[in-house]
């Protein structure tokens, strides 16, 4: 091995040693961000049945939603003359229309169906009152019980 | 024997007799069946107000695994309800899963979709809850919970 080769090998070895020493003294640090998202959750109480002519309440509780979000409850199926259709238990051909009103007496319609907006804090309960009234019935309406169901649309946005 | 000794002996005899009697009485206390039931802590008492309502557990986000029909969820009928629940998931008004007759206090941890889903975010999906009286099976009011489905 000539002198040039010896010098080159010695320089390379020294550089490798120096580099290794440098890494050992200053370990590389890699940052990693830890994130977690707790999904929004809440409970809505809806009336299981609604007695026409009586008030009933819709409420929200255990609301755990992100700041700025709102839970909205709407009447979802006001498709029958802006109300819902009740049908006679005894005679399915006999029907009537029931409309819903807020506490101020304003009628809900298919386009104005927002019952309430809740931004309640946890461990609090907020409620709102609605009322159902018969809107129209045939002159030939038969006596007996009438039934129908309301579907509440619930959205958090 | 002196009078004082007789008194001391008499008192000692009386005390021993009382101690033996007490010990016999406590060790031979007859066991009897109690009325009532074994107390396991306070129970939830459902009031009439609660009976008249249905409690709907709501959410605004679900996370599913792409390419798999089996998914993990937390759907349940709260035990303070007094109705059966039928549950359905609709995506673009197409039913992708449903189950009937979930009693109060019961729920679903795992479900099988009708079809596996591709990755993506599906907005305005619907979790439809239909409620039925536990005696007459008459349908009661229900709810449609709107949510966003994230499939990864």
Interface of A with B (CB under 8 A): 39-50, 56-57, 59, 65, 69, 71, 76, 147, 149-157
- Residues A135, A98 contacting (CB under 8 angstroms): yes
Question: For B49-65, what is the mean pLDDT?
Answer: 86
Question: For A21-25, what is the mean pLDDT?
Answer: 56
Alpha-carbon distance of B102 to B85, in angstroms, equals: 5
Residues A130, A74, B85, A95, Cα dihedral to 10°: 60
pLDDT at B48 over 50: no
The pTM assigned to this predicted structure is 0.72
**pLDDT tens digit sequence for B67-124:** 999 999 999 999 999 999 999 999 999 999 999 999 999 999 999 999 999 999 999 9
Query: What residues contact B124, with CB distance under 8 A and at least 6 apart?
Result: B146, B148
- Residues A97, A132 contacting (CB under 8 angstroms): no
pLDDT at B22 over 80: no
Residues of chain A with pLDDT > 90, as a percent, come to: 48
pLDDT the model gives residue B95:
97
- Residues A39, B59 contacting (CB under 8 angstroms): yes
> Which residues of B fall within a CB distance of 8 Å from A46?
53-54, 56, 141-143
What are the CA-CA distances from residue B133 to residues A43, A95, B38, B130, B142 (Å)?
A: 20, 22, 31, 10, 12
Alpha-carbon distance of B21 to B35, in angstroms, equals: 29
> Which residues of B fall within a CB distance of 8 Å from A69?
60
Q: Do B55 and A76 touch (CB under 8 A)?
A: no
Question: In whole numbers, what is the pLDDT of chain A averaged over residues?
Answer: 85
pLDDT at A62 over 60: yes
ipTM value: 0.76
CA of A75: which chain B residue's CA is closest?
B143
- Retrieve residue A48's tokens: 């299981």
């Amino acid at each position: 091995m000539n002198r040039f080769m010896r010098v080159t090998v010695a320089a390379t070895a020294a550089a490798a040693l120096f580099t290794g020493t440098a890494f050992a003294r200053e370990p590389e640090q890699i940052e990693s961000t830890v994130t977690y998202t707790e999904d929004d959750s809440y409970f809505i109480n809806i009336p299981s049945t609604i007695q026409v002519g009586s008030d009933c309440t819709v409420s929200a509780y255990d609301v755990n939603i992100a700041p700025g979000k709102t839970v909205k409850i709407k009447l979802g199926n006001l498709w029958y003359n802006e109300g819902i259709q009740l049908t006679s238990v005894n005679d399915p051909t006999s029907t009537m229309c029931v409309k819903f009103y807020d506490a101020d007496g304003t009628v809900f319609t298919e386009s104005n169906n927002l019952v309430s907006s809740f931004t309640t804090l946890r461990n609090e309960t907020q409620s709102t009152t609605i009322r159902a009234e018969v809107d129209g019935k045939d002159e030939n309406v038969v006596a007996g019980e009438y039934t129908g169901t309301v579907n509440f649309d619930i959205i958090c946005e | 024997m002196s009078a004082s000794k007789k008194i001391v002996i008499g008192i000692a005899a009386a005390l021993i007799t009382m101690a033996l009697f007490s010990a016999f009485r406590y060790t031979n206390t007859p066991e009897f069946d109690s009325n009532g039931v074994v107390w396991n802590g306070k129970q939830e008492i459902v009031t009439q107000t609660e009976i008249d309502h249905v409690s709907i557990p709501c959410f605004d986000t679900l996370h599913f695994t792409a390419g798999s029909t089996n998914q993990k969820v937390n759907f349940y009928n709260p035990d303070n309800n007094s109705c059966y629940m039928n549950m359905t998931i609709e995506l673009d008004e197409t039913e992708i899963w449903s189950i009937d007759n979930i009693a109060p206090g019961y729920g679903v941890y795992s479900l099988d979709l009708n079809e596996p889903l591709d990755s993506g975010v599906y907005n305005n999906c619907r979790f439809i809850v239909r409620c039925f009286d536990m005696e007459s099976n008459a349908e009661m009011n229900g709810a449609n919970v709107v949510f966003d489905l994230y499939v990864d």
